Chain A
Amino acid sequence: MKAIHLIYIVIIIALIALFESCEYEYIEFAEQPVPPPPDTNDTIPVHQISFTLAIEPIFEEATCTNCHNGSLTPDLTEGNAYNSIMSNGLAVPFDHTNSMIYTYPHPVSGSHGTRYQNTAQTDSIYLWIYQGALDN
């Protein structure tokens, strides 16, 4: 009899948890900052994202380089990352949705085993791609 009571309790708790917590929401972030288009006549614009200064350190911070250190494609180590990313087609200028360097390790929607640590890092990569994925 005790066993039957326990089963009933578990079933009731499970049903309450199931129906009270079922939601249909989407992950939405604040509007992405829209930078000015790259100005080729100017020197480095104010909002220009530098690959060397802003993007390469992310691969180090997010521990990507623990594995992608030359033994595994792409090589994301300092000085080699840009060539490796572009030659493998992992960044498509002006198109972040088709840039695997942005989508695959994305902390929310990515499916890579190791991902970027936060959305601030992906925002920087997004801006860099938006500005033409330049080697700067």
Chain B
Amino acid sequence: MKKIFLFIIVLSLGLNLSFAQEGVEEKAVEEKPKVKDRPVREPFGSGILIDNQTCFIPEKKTLEMVIQHRFGPMNNGISDIWGIYKPGANIRIGFNYVVIDKLQLGYGLTMTNMTSDFSAKYNIIEQTRKNTIPVFVTVFADWGIDGRSNDSFGENYKPTNRFSYFTQLIVGRKFNDWCSIQVHGSFTHFNKVEPGTDHDKIGVGFNGRFKFSPQSAIHFQADFPLKIQGLSEYKTDNNEWVDHPVPNIGIGYELNTGAHSFQVYILSSKEILPQYSYMYNTIPNEQYPFWSTQNFLIGFTMTRLWGF
């Protein structure tokens, strides 16, 4: 009898112990700190991809200098080295600073109309490594100030006549270590334009890069200004589109080091600022089709990062 009693006590203690252990284990599981799903590492090597912004924003307190350059059209071939020695280059020099995590503010000066631009870029959502968030979402806004003399704006000049705006929503994904793709939609507005030109333009596009070595990549872009009947203020009597901006299509090579990015590309817009590219990228002479070398030119972009 004693043995049976002792067996029951031992058994119950054993069960209690095992239950208690399970409880401890459950508690341990509950209290185990969640592994943070961190953002993917550098979906793009630079904040700029040819003409477009990427979701890449460096760490906070980083200063970025950007030099963008466009040569002349390539139509003269070898005689002026496909436009490299041709006059009529376009240049932009800009500086961006990451004030807080995921927010970058910038200023730049472009040769087109000596336009100053102030920009802001913010990463709303970042793609994570464990795919908890599958895409990144970034907004970019640019405010341009035309730097020409007052009489270029005609009668009834006001300082706000100089303003132009560009807003863009970018959604993209780093698919793997060598492929990142973005799509974007944008809205462009110019306060004062010459008669026969729209004030507003909506555009869509896509771009991306394919890395083929740790430092090198092929990148591309395609931006399309849309023909939206309701938005257009100007068409001919036959309801046809006149001087509608052409797409900005480009392809190039990118070289990235830790703090530098160098991109060289061929593209179909001499404009550097996005609002000008979406609004004023027209074919200067209609006798040349879009795919002629008259409409394509060589350009390059260099960026340099400094951490503070």
Contacts and interface: CB of A to CB of B under 8 A. Distances in A.
A27 B149 CA distance: 13
Contact of A28 (B100, B143, B154, B165): B154
A interface bracket (residues with beta carbon within 8 Å of B): 20 to 34
Chain A binding surface, main DSSP class: loop
Contacts of B88: 67, 112-114
Interface string B72-105: 1000000000000011111000000001110101
Nearest to A100: B285
Contacts, number: 92
Given A10-B103, A111-B280, A119 B151 contact: yes
B120 interface: yes
B240 interface: no
Contacts of B282: 111
Interface string A94-136: 0000001000100111011110001100000000000000000
Given A27-B154, A28-B154, A113-B270, A72 B191 contact: no
A12 B194 CA distance: 31
A134 B152 CA distance: 28
Interface stretch (B50-58, B155-163, B177-185): B155-163
Nearest to A103: B284
Contacts of B270: 111, 113
Q: Which of A14, A25, A107 counts the most B-chain CB atoms under 10 A from its CB?
A: A25
B33 interface: no
B89 A104 contact: no
Given A23-B161, A28-B155, A111-B280, A7 B192 contact: no
Interface string A11-38: 0001001100111111111100000000
A27 B199 CA distance: 12
A53 interface: no
Interface of B: 72, 86-90, 99-101, 103, 105, 111, 120, 122, 141, 143, 148-149, 151-156, 160-161, 163, 165, 167, 189, 191-195, 197, 199, 233, 270, 280, 282, 284-285
16 contacts: A10-B105, A22-B189, A23-B160, A23-B163, A23-B192, A24-B199, A28-B156, A29-B155, A66-B87, A100-B285, A108-B152, A108-B153, A108-B154, A113-B87, A113-B88, A113-B90
